[in-house]
Amino acid sequence: MPARPRGRASPHEMRSTGSSLNVNNKLQLFMGGALALCLGVVSGCPSDDTGGSGEGSTGGSTNGPGMTSMGDTASSSESGTPDPTTDGGTEPAENGEMCTDDSGCISEECFVVGPLGGVCSECNEDTDCAETTGFGCNFGNPLTGMPAVCSATGEQGEGCQTADACAEGLFCPTLIEVPGIIEAATCSECEVDTDCMMGQFCAPSYDIANIAGSFSCVDAMSIPDNDGCILTGTGEECMSGNCAPASLEGIPVIAVCSPCNEDEDCMGGTCQLPGIALDGTMLSLVPGMCV
């Protein structure tokens, strides 16, 4: 990938449980898994060896858009756990219902989002859509029961793993990434600043509740607070001039324009950085502010 001008990194370099678990349990599980994986203390963490196998290998199933599943999609018979469909248990689930692996779904497609679990879906990756729509696989959300489905258009904001799954002229940059947990990419107008007109910036917009969004070309000082920006840049795209990380339990997930990025921006006050929180069954942005 070409280097971004002014020494910037690329936009994406910043980067089931049983029914008895409630949403807060899922968030705690998600963060525990994320922190452990990022600190490298969980056995079987993803390695650079894409040829490996097993739960921690990046050679596991790849889910769209651009998401690498951390779940074990092996059948229950392979894992040693009794298969409920052959052991007098429940029948495979409909799309939109929770699952742990492909065998638990009628569609045989369980879209897994790391420790958050999985949701029975129409697709797991772009290739699952090759014989239907011919475009990418839109992201599924186990928290809300939203299944992953094949994009019908490949237009901006639709899921992808490569630009081949997007409409002509669009790119497929990574939009959201938490290493070892989630990686989502969407069809976008640009991938780097040089894809835009001179003086413009390639910046993300986020629909964090639905793990969605896309990159677009924007003018300098045009993005208001709480909208997406490039953390590794200069903040020139923000009206405030400040681009700050928004973290979930200390792990940066996205970056947004903010009144401040450090205490020095607050004229004697303290900078409270933006954050990501769980609001019911939705992820939501907590704005940054000077306090």
% of the chain beyond a pLDDT of 90: 56
What are the extents of the domains in the chain?
Answer: 60-76+88-155
Mean pLDDT of 33-56: 37
Phi, psi of 166 (to 5 degrees): -110, 160
What confidence category does residue 89 fall into, taking pLDDT thresholds of 50, 70 and 90?
Answer: low
Mean pLDDT of 247-252: 87
Please say whether the beta carbons of 18 and 153 come within 8 A: no
**What pLDDT is recorded for position 115?**
76
Render pLDDT for 171-187 as a digit per residue (tens, 0 to 9).
999 999 887 778 899 99
**What pLDDT is recorded for position 103?**
95
For residue 163, which of 133, 122, 191, 138 has the smallest C-alpha distance? 191
Please state, in angstroms and rounded to a whole number, the distance separating the CA atoms of residues 160 and 33.
25
Please say whether the beta carbons of 149 and 123 come within 8 A: yes
Instruction: Tell how far CA 200 is from the center of its chain.
Output: 25
**Residue 27 scores a pLDDT above 50:** no
Please state, in angstroms and rounded to a whole number, the distance separating the CA atoms of residues 164 and 170.
9
**What pLDDT is recorded for position 211?**
84
pTM, two decimals, is 0.70
- Cα dist. 246→163, 208, 241, 249, 282 in Å? 27, 11, 16, 10, 16
**Residue 215 scores a pLDDT above 60:** yes
Of 116 and 12, more confident: 116
**What pLDDT is recorded for position 283?**
84
**What pLDDT is recorded for position 1?**
35
**What pLDDT is recorded for position 62?**
38
Render pLDDT for 129-180 as a digit per residue (tens, 0 to 9).
999 999 999 999 998 899 999 999 999 999 999 999 999 999 999 999 887 7
**What pLDDT is recorded for position 43?**
33
Please say whether the beta carbons of 229 and 235 come within 8 A: yes
**What tokens does 108 get?**
């045989």
Mean pLDDT of 245-257: 91
Render pLDDT for 185-211 as a digit per residue (tens, 0 to 9).
999 999 999 999 999 999 999 998 888
Peptide bond into 65 cis (omega under 30): yes
> Mean of the per-residue pLDDT values for the chain?
77
